[in-house]
Structure 1
């Protein structure tokens, strides 16, 4: 009788271990979102084969979403957020003043973005509206294509802008 209990317990433990390893493997291999951006928030892999960044409008909410972009070895990041007036705003996740430090990127705290270099707080409704000063580097309408379904920022624009990320201390 003791032998049967040990065999059953052993089989149960083996099955449980296999299920745990399978769950861990599935979790580790799940694509799309991760939380390793500079912002500490969710990021999506949205760069297409041509190097354009394609952001689905359906992903954008009042919580800033961060999109990594790689251009010729330079790591960059774009943030997209729905402003209080319902419009979708985009900007580079780097500060127009602090970018040279490599730490001039933003994290969201409540309804504000906070520069991780100088601590300046920036309201979501000013993203892509204000230019110059300690605020996220805006990506204006002329630098992107917006449809009801997506926002596309072309690879050529990233190539032109990559110098602002030359010192960026990347998290990936």
Structure 2
């Protein structure tokens, strides 16, 4: 009987240890890569509508201030971009690439009110996104608010397709 109790305590301790490790990994963001949706899944969940010449993002999908990372296929390349509502209330959009680090295809991530370059670590406050061009700033995209949507012309995204690697056939 004592042996079974000891085995139970050991197994219970191992399970508790695994739970602690998983909880710590989730809070540290280590498992984020496994839990993230693709840009297409985020677009669908957010209600993004693509027309022949534009991408229409519902403003309500951006109202939280959380960046919505999206992609568009153009002439054999996957083009990445993002949109957000900045802390000053403006709706903004930029390529998920910059003039300096784009060759690494690493883009940006959002940490609170900042966009952070995944290559060099430079940070950019949300109210500068889509306004400042050059250096490691996210490359701005022209956009307009029409009705309840932030509208980005596909041509505006595609004109910088050179920032993204062509798919291999």
TM range (shorter): 0.5 to 0.7
Unaligned runs of 5+ in 2: 1-35
SS at match of 1:118: coil
Please give the alpha-carbon distance, in whole angstroms, between the structure 1 residues aligned to 2:139 and 2:102.
9
What does 1:13-162 align with in structure 2 at a 5 Å threshold? 35-37=37-39, 43-45=42-44, 46=48, 48-50=50-52, 52-61=54-63, 62-103=65-106, 105-140=107-142, 144-162=143-161
For the 8 Å contact 2:104–2:119, the answer to whether it is kept is yes
SS at match of 2:160: helix
TM-score normalised to structure 2 length: 0.66
Q: How large is the RMSD of aligned CA atoms in angstroms?
A: 2.2
Q: How many residues align?
A: 127
Cα 1:111/1:167, change in 2 over 3 Å: farther
For the 8 Å contact 2:95–2:157, the answer to whether it is kept is no
Q: Bigger shift: 153-162 or 76-85? A: 153-162
TM-score normalised to structure 1 length: 0.65
Q: Once superposed, which parts of structure 1, at least 4 consecutive aligned residues long, lie more than 3 Å away?
A: none
Please give the alpha-carbon distance, in whole angstroms, between the structure 2 residues aligned to 1:167 and 1:73.
6
